[in-house]
Amino acid sequence: MSRHWTDSGRPSRRVFLARLTTIVTAPAVIVACRDTDPAEVPDRARVPDDEISDDGPSPAADDPRPALPGSEPLVRVRVRKVRQPATRIEIGRPGEWIALRTPGDEEAPDRANATSARPGRGPTTVVLHGPVAISQRTGGWSILDARGFRPTVDGMELIELSLAEAADGVDLEVDGHSYPGFVQLVGRGGSGADGYDVVNHVALESYLPGVVAGELYRHWHPSTFAAQAVAARSYACAERSYRGHSHYDLTNTQRSQVYEGTTEHERALESARLTRGVVLAHDGRLVPGYYSACCGGRAANAVDAFGMHPFNDVAPLRGRRPLDVCVKAPLFDWRIERPHDEVVTRLVAYGRRRENEALKNLRRVRAIDVHEVNEHGRPVSYAIASGAGADPVVLGAESLRSAVDYADASLPRPAKRLWSAAMAVTIDGTTVRFDGHGHGHGVGMCQHGAETLARDSKSFEAILEWYYPGVNVVRAYV
């Protein structure tokens, strides 16, 4: 077959446009997952059949909890939140061809927010020479490829970028970070004045290694990595179900799951291959795989930590028996001290933000005492006493943690944020002392505890069954 080449030895833009004719008329860019060498990994989801249970009982038709995924899903991960519209990002490497696609109004994530001047317009694709520089200007995108070409995009409609030609072991680069799949740039607000989000669309099994590598110490035990992969997969599937109305499902930070993008860490890659398609289930429905760094010895209940949502009100998320095995974790015990006035200022600011009348009128805090504990002895709520005959203000444990750490445009973040909401509070003159246990919300799997169990020769299934009592570890897809 004859080929047209540029002086650099790469196909010309005309040839690439011809090759992409089918993409222009297709409803979406399709990204293939990496192939796996069958010799490297056992068959059937990389786990012997007798080690993974079936799907368990059939779910009730009216159960609002998410169903088990029937096949590998695509997840949407916000990998960057650009706050200043003029901020420029670069996509692709020198010499690469980048496909820029505008899906059109039919595929807009929210038709009410579509900004194209030509409603009903279909998708279009143009090929650019990388790296491609992108920013926002008034009313639209500013796009410039490495050879000075500027494509035109209507208004602030979303744009999609991917490698025009797939190559083994090569993923899309965004500002020096490599991601499998493709990315969409979505403006926040009709005019884009609020900045934009960079969202990585990626097959779940290609996403997971970047999560596991980002969440665990690189030298930890393979069973800890495998347990983490199952928990992270389950969490991602649940978030995908819950956040289906938005233009992303997850973020790449601790607010969701840390995600490094493409990784070469073999233990992370192997954990995803080993557990492919394996998730947490209860009564035939998906269990969100919540986890934190260290529970501090006592587990939290998901309803107490995150609110009364059907996803959370399930037996495996109510915690295991007390006194976990994470006692050697670096933050099993910790102490943080704050000036009294600073604590009051943050509580009041949080009260204003949340429209909590009692909290925003605080002038002094005389005591912060545990008000309620769960069945495992972990604090569920605290009572803030201001004295002078006023009734104590009761806050949930995680709400108190958020309030004491509250920051906004006029109130900078504290030098040290509270590591968890499991703590005792002592007020000594002008100082408030927080003596706490653990790191994170304490729901579900404790990562440091999982590592302790793994080094005690526990399998990843046993680790998951310890941290999610009554759960079924099932293979949802192969």
297 and 324 Cβ atoms separated by less than 8 Å: yes
Q: What is the total residue count of the chain?
A: 478
Q: What are phi and psi of 203, to 5 degrees?
A: -60, 140
Are residues 18 and 129 part of one domain? yes
CB atoms within 10 A of CB 344: 18
- CA of residue 169 relative to chain centroid, distance: 24
Are residues 421 and 368 part of one domain? yes
141 assigned to some structural domain: yes
Q: Final residue of a domain: which of 194, 226, 256?
A: 194
Are residues 255 and 135 part of one domain? no
Distance CA 396, CA 402 (A): 10
Tell me what pLDDT residue 85 has.
Answer: 84
3 assigned to some structural domain: no
Distance CA 311, CA 208 (A): 21
Are residues 217 and 113 part of one domain? no
Are residues 254 and 381 part of one domain? no
Low-confidence ranges of the chain (pLDDT < 50): 1-56, 108-119
Domain span at 467: 208-329+441-475
Tell me what pLDDT residue 389 has.
Answer: 79
279 and 474 Cβ atoms separated by less than 8 Å: yes
Neighbouring residues of 66: CB distance < 8 A, sequence distance ≥ 6: 237, 238, 241, 242, 285, 286, 311
Are residues 347 and 239 part of one domain? no
Are residues 227 and 161 part of one domain? no
Q: What's the domain count of the chain?
A: 3
50 assigned to some structural domain: no
73 assigned to some structural domain: no
Are residues 426 and 353 part of one domain? yes
150 burial via Cβ count (<10 Å: 0-12, 13-18, 19+): exposed
pTM beyond cutoff 0.85: no
455 and 218 Cβ atoms separated by less than 8 Å: no
Q: Final residue of a domain: which of 194, 223, 252?
A: 194
Are residues 280 and 357 part of one domain? no
Neighbouring residues of 139: CB distance < 8 A, sequence distance ≥ 6: 155, 156, 191, 192
Query: Phi-psi region for residue 356, left (φ > 0), alpha (ψ -120 to 50) or beta?
Result: beta
| Amino acid (one-letter) located at 403 | A
CB atoms within 10 A of CB 203: 17
418 assigned to some structural domain: yes
Are residues 122 and 17 part of one domain? yes
Are residues 144 and 216 part of one domain? no
> What is the rounded end-to-end Cα distance, in angstroms, of the chain?
38
Tell me what pLDDT residue 153 has.
Answer: 86
55 assigned to some structural domain: no
